[in-house]
Amino acid sequence: MEVAPAVLMTLVDQREDSKGHCSHLSSPRQKQRISLADLQTYFGAKLEEKNPPYLVGSAQILKAGLLKQWKIR
């Protein structure tokens, strides 16, 4: 679970926007959709569990990060 945010950050374009924030994903939309679909396929309803085991919790963190309102470069 501690590494999941770092994995998500590998998808973030490090160039700042006009407000000085990193708000763009560097991967294309299709890649983002595939990642979300993969998480749903592998974990299914477990992604909605409260107090999940570490692996499922890590997947929940990745899902939440990918669902954030990112801009795509």
Look up the domain containing 63 and give its range.
4-14+23-72
**For residue 26, what pLDDT is reported?**
78
Label residue 72 by pLDDT band (50, 70, 90): low
| pTM greater than the 0.85 cutoff | no
What are 22-70's pLDDT values in tens digits? 777 777 776 777 688 999 999 999 999 999 999 999 999 989 888 887 7
Q: What is the number of domains present in the chain?
A: 1
Whether pLDDT at 2 is above 90: no
Integer angstrom CA distances of residue 43 from 49, 52, 61: 10, 11, 13
Q: Span 12-21, mean pLDDT?
A: 81
Contact, 39 vs 47, CB < 8 A? yes
